[in-house]
Amino acid sequence: MKKVLITGVAGFIGSNLLDYLLEQTDWEIHGIDNFSTGRKSNVKHNLDHARFRLIEGSVFELTSLKDYESIFHLSALPRIQPSFELVSDHIKENLLASIHLVELMMAENHYPRIINSSSSAIYGTPELIPTPESEKVDCLSPYAFQKFECEKYFDLVSTRVPLDYVHLRYFNPFGPRSFNPENKFNAYSSVVGIFLNRKARNEPLLITGDGLQKRDFIHVYDLAKANLLAAQHPEKLNTAFNIGASGTVSVIDLARMISENYQFIPKREGEAEITYADVSKAKEILGWQPEHNLDTYINSVLG
């Protein structure tokens, strides 16, 4: 039976990926998490699953990857604003953790495919709309820069050793468990989750700036499917794919879909004016396409 590892399994995307892989495959899945921004309750419904094992600890404590055929690498400190303040922590978690995985592979001369969670943040505010993978890189935050460095590190190392990887540049994910009230960085979580949480508590939605910034919102189940297809692809790909819904919605329109009770707060620097993915490469090469829709999700949560 194929054995795989998910790093950051107790996070928003990792825990949804775990559900998806348990449902769609017969693989044995190990997941590691140190619960820095994720929480054990996100995977509690799978703790007794015969094909899942939770490793409680840090990626840096891993000493071998030789049992695994694929690594889904999601662990990170994935927020833009905190990356300006806690710089070395973010370099450690967003860059050095990935390097640690590659060093283990080199030490063991074993190269499982690594599906690397990257981000549309590397494009900054793009010029090409919709944005293809060939768009120039323009990192507006340390977080974006670390995600890009990580991609570049894999690209560079693959000229020396037989690294096998796929970078998935997620746009703006939404879905179950996106908002973790225990996360010290929760104010910077995905806006869909924050707005739904504030609506549930009858609090006004807080819109940064004029709310005209636009986002390409992609359901976490669609991200999970892209991860599975990237792992299953028969050829070594060693390239990057945009994973978004290929549409764009302004934050003020999003707020109005959820509540008429909203207020404006100051704009935050380091964040893009628009994200809008061109996903033709993922459609053509991975055979992936988004299936879930933002309106349907919001209506299902609001009831």
Ligand X SMILES: NC(=O)c1ccc[n+]([C@@H]2O[C@H](COP(=O)([O-])OP(=O)(O)OC[C@H]3O[C@@H](n4cnc5c(N)ncnc54)[C@H](O)[C@@H]3O)[C@@H](O)[C@H]2O)c1
Enumerate binding residues for ligand X (CB under 6 A). 7-8, 10-14, 32-38, 58-60, 74-76, 78, 93, 97, 117, 119, 170, 172-173, 190
> How far apart are the C-alpha atoms of 143 and 117, rounded to whole Å?
13
> How far apart are the C-alpha atoms of 250 and 76, rounded to whole Å?
27
Are 262 and 207 contacting, i.e. CB atoms less than 8 angstroms apart? Answer: yes
> Whole-number minimum distance, CB 2 to ligand X, in Å?
22
DSSP track, 102-164: HHHHHHHT---EEEEEEEGGGG-S-SSSSBPTTSPP---SHHHHHHHHHHHHHHHHTTTS---
Closer by beta carbon to ligand X, 163 or else 220: 220
> Whole-number minimum distance, CB 234 to ligand X, in Å?
25
> Whole-number minimum distance, CB 195 to ligand X, in Å?
14
> Whole-number minimum distance, CB 210 to ligand X, in Å?
21
Listed in sequence order, the DSSP H helices in the chain are: 12-24, 80-85, 87-91, 97-108, 142-157, 191-200, 220-232, 251-258, 280-281, 294-302
> How far apart are the C-alpha atoms of 171 and 38, rounded to whole Å?
20
> Whole-number minimum distance, CB 220 to ligand X, in Å?
8
Closer by beta carbon to ligand X, 164 or else 271: 271
> Whole-number minimum distance, CB 5 to ligand X, in Å?
11
Q: Is the dihedral of CA 53, 289, 293, 243 positive or negative?
A: positive
> Whole-number minimum distance, CB 146 to ligand X, in Å?
9
Closer by beta carbon to ligand X, 27 or else 148: 148
Closer by beta carbon to ligand X, 93 or else 151: 93
Closer by beta carbon to ligand X, 33 or else 278: 33
Q: Name the residue among 284, 279, 69 with its Cα closest to residue 164.
A: 69
Closer by beta carbon to ligand X, 38 or else 211: 38
- Partners of 167 in the beta sheet? 116, 240
Q: What is the DSSP letter of 210?
A: T
Are 260 and 222 contacting, i.e. CB atoms less than 8 angstroms apart? Answer: no
Closer by beta carbon to ligand X, 82 or else 112: 82
> How far apart are the C-alpha atoms of 16 and 221, rounded to whole Å?
7
Q: Which helix (H) or strand (E) holds 205?
A: strand 205-208
Closer by beta carbon to ligand X, 141 or else 207: 141
Q: Name the residue among 213, 211, 212 with its Cα closest to residue 264.
A: 211
> Whole-number minimum distance, CB 136 to ligand X, in Å?
19
